[in-house]
Structure 1
Amino acid sequence: MTNKDWIQCALMAAIMGLLAPLAIPLAGGVPISLATCIVMLCGSLLGWKKGAWSVLIYLLLGCIGIPVFAGYTAGIGHILGPSGGFLIGYLILVFVVGKCNQTVSRLIVGMIIGNVCLYAFGILWFLIVSQSTIMAALTWCVLPFIPGDVCKMVVVAILSPILWKSLPFLNRNFTRV
């Protein structure tokens, strides 16, 4: 990767670090935050490879103590805790979205598939860490998030084509239909 690529990755990680902490805490330990929106936008704008690096940088910043996780928290305990599967799952989400970012219709499909994968990985992690039931995990980790995640997907689907056109330095050669 070039210096320009690393700068783009760092910039998206910084945007994640600024917006992801804005969160609404919920029972069960998994908060509603803007992180998934930024992760999907990151995959849309940078593709899977640079997007994954951006998310990894963000996760490493949080692990070393910089308060970039939901609610302005930090530390390796968040990765190891109930919401850790969702944090690590951001890598899956950005990968799927980044692989499907050639057109708006493919982007939407990628965001849906990516969120399903994120939920699956996050729920599995939550079940292992919390030793709760599947119904409890679905109640705490999926149902409250579906409306917000649908709204985030709509926002990303609207913003992406605008940003694809207005940010030529991304060197994207996609059809954008």
Structure 2
Amino acid sequence: MPLFQAIIERRNPPLALNGATVIAASLGLTLSSKIVVPFDPVPFTTQTLVVVGLGLALGRRRALVAVLLYLMQGAVGLPVFAETPEKGIGIDYMLGPTGGYLVGYLLAVLVAGSLGERGWRKPASAAAAALLASAVVYIPRLFWLGTVIGWFKPVLALGLYPFFLGDVVKAMLVVLLFTVTGRTFGSGRS
């Protein structure tokens, strides 16, 4: 059985393989943050695609640990976030306009991972899971953005409308990537 498929299907991988998977996932999340389309107040990146994909592919526990590792790396000052170090690093960056996204990634991997573990793995149900996981990012995203830039500014115009279509496309890409590669979403619990 190929190593990648063993990781995805969670067939009792050894602890070292789980650790390597989590580290690789956090590095993938870092790489996805560096694919940036500048936008104000927060940039477009492929992070949502990767976060949702990690949840579906790895399950909620391993995906959550990978996102937590990514956030810890950023908190200690490693330039893992979008537009870092140019726009700051560490906790200061995390408390800026993108902080809500970072919190939302935790919710998204929990939703995607939980639904994937419950059998939402076929293309149609995986697409629904990816859309739901992408949508939960908006809850802390909009609340945080309103808190940082002020509620009298057009929070929806800055934090929802420009990103909505892109997030739908990214959610569909998650499903397409697994369908095209012939991989199925993992079975069992992580």
1:106 matched to 2:121? The reply is no
Q: CA shift at 1:4, angstroms?
A: 1.6
In 2: Cα distance, 1:117 partner to 1:151 partner: 16
Amino acid at match of 1:150: V
Q: In structure 2, list runs of 5 or more residues that go unmatched.
A: 1-13
Q: CA shift at 1:79, angstroms?
A: 1.5
Higher mean C-alpha deviation, range 5-14 or range 18-27: 18-27
1:57 matched to 2:76? The reply is no
Aligned residue for 1:156? 174
Q: CA shift at 1:31, angstroms?
A: 1.1
1:165 matched to 2:183? The reply is yes
Q: CA shift at 1:164, angstroms?
A: 6.6
How many correspondences in the alignment? 168
- What is the TM-score normalised by the length of structure 1? 0.86
Moved over 3 A (4+): 161-164
Amino acid at match of 1:98: G
Aligned residue for 1:75? 90
Aligned pair partner of 1:132 in 137, 141, 151 = 151
- What is the TM-score normalised by the length of structure 2? 0.80
Give the % identical residues: 27
Give the CA RMSD over aligned residues: 2.1
Q: CA shift at 1:163, angstroms?
A: 5.1
Question: For the Cα contact (< 8 Å) 1:79–1:88, is it kept in 2?
Answer: no
Aligned residue for 1:146? 164
Question: For the Cα contact (< 8 Å) 1:123–1:138, is it kept in 2?
Answer: yes
Higher mean C-alpha deviation, range 96-105 or range 83-92: 96-105
1:31 matched to 2:39? The reply is no
1:97 matched to 2:116? The reply is no
Aligned residue for 1:41? 53
Structure scoring higher RCO (CA < 8 A, sep ≥ 6) equals: 2
- 3-state SS, counterpart of residue 145 of structure 1: helix
